[in-house]
Amino acid sequence: MMRPNAASAILATIFLMTTASATDGMADYIRRYGADLGSIQRKYPIGLSEFRAQRLDKFFVGQLSDLKKVGFEKLNIEGQLDYVLLRQHLENQMVDLKVAADHRKELGPLTPFAADIIALDEKLRADMGQVDPRAAAVQLNSLAKQLAKAADLTKDQKIKQALAVRAAKAVSSLSDVLEHWYRFYAGYDPTFTWWCEAPFKACSQGLGEYKKHLMEKVAGIAEGDSKTIVGDPIGRDALLADLRADLIDYTPEELIDIANQEFTWCEGEMKKACLELGFKDWTKGLEHVKNLYVEPGQQPKLIRDLAVEAIDFIEKRNLVSVPDLAKETWRMEMMSPERQLESPFFLGGESILVSFPTQSMEHDAKMMSLRGNNPHFARATVQHELIPGHHLQQFYMSRNNPHRELFGTPFWIEGWALYWEFLLWDMGFPRGPEDKIGMLFWRMHRCARIIFSLKFHLGEMTPQECVDFLVDRVGHERDNASAEVRRSFAGNYPPLYQAAYMLGALQFRALRKELVDTGKMSEKAFHDAILVGNEMPVAMVRARLSGTKLTRDFRPNWRFYDSLKRK
């Protein structure tokens, strides 16, 4: 039980957390920064542009200089936190610019025409002035001749598949850039159309043919191939840089070791749960649970019931504040068969997207979707996506310190939702061995994500080996495993995203042990304070909730797993 004066101090701190950022000026400062950054990014949207990179670098350097003029010592607790978060954000942005420059340099030999295409569109965006149609036609004609011979750029070269795919994506982007420039004038200036229509079509055709050449002849991926998985490993140095940006004080190898420790615990618990059902081989127990799927048409009712049950569970135990409007306004949509190729399981937030087979799917695909979305697997994923997971998270984020969404990180977003799977397990949420097996399947999956994603980026596993790992060690359906790996490496998620689920959850778990288990905060105060604070690296959540004294150059040094090591 907390001493009265300790409880009063914590309540006062939480009050400051909910009100301070609106009064110290840093929240408005960050909002203005975000608006300015958005204006620049919209004015100069071409990711391959050297000018855009230089303009952003100038902006970030200027912002860092301006930030140093802010009277840090005069800021209150929340203002100092915002200052540190913005400083770290700006430093990370400048590192990202250097990484992007290296990527452009790699692509240069395969896209020597990029600067000419970008220059056309950037001149248009700079002055919106008239174009000289005859001169433009000459430029386009020269470009078309370059593109007609573009395939020669790849002759007698050993080009990695990942680089070829990246180059193909760049060519596709350049095609869009040229299209934007041309459509601005075409038809509105008859003279421009007269001069430029034919060479523009030749350029578009050349870009399309070169993209096809890169994909089919260089990368070896046939048109319409939706099964081949190609990733682009970033290497150990880049992983370390990304970990530093998220304030994770571990090496990739140490994180893989943590994942293996957690995986070993999961396997032990899985074997115990399967023995309760009479299965000595845990993979057979998992197969039994997979086949307990509901009939077609029954999945929406199942999801609704699981969502209500999870809300009742956390409210009866007074674990976190759940506003009535949050309970009222979540929605459900069914996921399309096409989207299920990359997302074979649920996605969510205010609207939960339910993955379940449709009549148009082939029989094997139907069965994999049925088995992979059975009620006992869903018991973990529904509350992860809705309440107390992503929907509750997003409900609070839009209403409390929304300026901090600029500092978003998957370790906070995904870590929070998975942390609740941990906590609900500890509090008896699984009703029997089938539920335990379902929840453990997902926990093993999160361990596996750390292992396969980091090893892939370290160059130690291929995409196919990642798929096999999920099938053999976790028990995934093969199509679902392929979709998971494809989603991980398609380029839509940053390299650490998949590892962030469990690592973020372990961070929140360690913080709870530090603050709740010691009686410094109640369960509800702890969870509410995290939500009200909005997004940030979890190490900064720790600094915020523990009352750490901040400095201008503050950088946390937190070995969060030391207190959680499996015995």
More confident residue, 133 or 17: 133
For 8-20, write each residue's pLDDT tens digit: 444 444 444 444 4
- Residue 488 pLDDT > 70: yes
Question: How does 419-456 read in b/e, with b if 16+ C-beta sit within 10 Å?
Answer: bbbbbbbeeebbeebbbbbbbbbbbbbbbbbbbbbbbb
Among candidates 389, 507, 381, which has minimal Cα distance to 442?
381
pLDDT at position 6 is: 45
For 314-335, write each residue's pLDDT tens digit: 999 999 999 999 999 998 888 7
The continuous run of DSSP H or E covering 314 comes out as: helix 299-316
Helix (H), strand (E) counts: the chain: 23, 2
In a domain, 523, yes or no: yes
Whether 123 and 250 map to the same domain: the answer is no
Angle at which helices 282-290 and 252-276 cross, to 10°: 80
CA distance 554 to 539: 11
Residue 371 pLDDT grade (very low, low, confident, very high; cuts 50, 70, 90): confident
- Residue 396 pLDDT > 50: yes
Q: Would you call 399 exposed, middle or buried from its count of C-beta atoms within 10 A (0-12, 13-18, 19+)?
A: middle
Among candidates 86, 32, 39, 79, which has minimal Cα distance to 64?
86
- Residue 226 pLDDT > 80: no
CA distance 59 to 80: 22
State which amino acid sits at residue 304: R
Structure tokens at 23: 């009064």
Residue 477 pLDDT grade (very low, low, confident, very high; cuts 50, 70, 90): confident
Domain containing 416 equals 238-547
More confident residue, 321 or 372: 321
In a domain, 118, yes or no: yes
- pLDDT average, residue stretch 489-503: 92
- pLDDT average, residue stretch 472-500: 89
Tally the domains of the chain.
Answer: 3
- pLDDT average, residue stretch 544-550: 95
- pLDDT average, residue stretch 187-202: 96
Asked which of 50, 84, 107 is the last residue of a domain, the reply is 107
Residue 341 pLDDT grade (very low, low, confident, very high; cuts 50, 70, 90): low
CA distance 379 to 309: 10
- Per the omega criterion (within 30 degrees of 0), is the bond before 388 cis? yes
pLDDT at position 566 is: 66
Chain centroid, CA 291 distance in Å: 31
Dihedral of the CA atoms 182, 184, 189, 191 (nearest 10)? -10
Whether 302 and 416 map to the same domain: the answer is yes
For 374-383, write each residue's pLDDT tens digit: 889 888 888 9
CA distance 237 to 162: 18
- pLDDT average, residue stretch 184-209: 96
Contact 382, 303 (CB under 8 A): yes
In a domain, 316, yes or no: yes
Residue 528 pLDDT grade (very low, low, confident, very high; cuts 50, 70, 90): very high
220-224, 292-296, 513-517: which is most confident? 513-517
Residue 511 pLDDT grade (very low, low, confident, very high; cuts 50, 70, 90): very high
Among candidates 395, 409, 377, which has minimal Cα distance to 476?
377
In a domain, 563, yes or no: no
Among candidates 485, 455, 451, which has minimal Cα distance to 467?
485
In a domain, 233, yes or no: no
Whether 297 and 438 map to the same domain: the answer is yes
Whether 477 and 404 map to the same domain: the answer is yes
pLDDT at position 130 is: 85
Contact 150, 213 (CB under 8 A): yes
Whether 119 and 82 map to the same domain: the answer is no
More confident residue, 563 or 332: 332
In a domain, 354, yes or no: yes
Contact 271, 287 (CB under 8 A): no
- pLDDT average, residue stretch 88-103: 96
Asked which of 74, 107, 140 is the last residue of a domain, the reply is 107
Whether 361 and 318 map to the same domain: the answer is yes
Whether 453 and 481 map to the same domain: the answer is yes
- Residue 171 pLDDT > 90: yes
Among candidates 189, 181, 112, which has minimal Cα distance to 152?
112
Whether 80 and 120 map to the same domain: the answer is no
Whether 143 and 245 map to the same domain: the answer is no
Whether 94 and 150 map to the same domain: the answer is no
In the block, tokens 């896209």 appear at 111
In a domain, 227, yes or no: no
In a domain, 188, yes or no: yes
Whether 457 and 370 map to the same domain: the answer is yes
On average, the pLDDT of the chain sits at: 91
CA distance 32 to 52: 20
**Residue 57 CB neighbour total at 10 angstroms:** 15
Q: Are strands 351-354 and 331-334 parallel, antiparallel or unpaired?
A: parallel
What φ, ψ does residue 373 adopt, rounded to 5°? -125, 40
Whether 499 and 376 map to the same domain: the answer is yes
Q: Would you call 35 exposed, middle or buried from its count of C-beta atoms within 10 A (0-12, 13-18, 19+)?
A: exposed
- pLDDT average, residue stretch 453-463: 96
- Residue 119 pLDDT > 70: yes
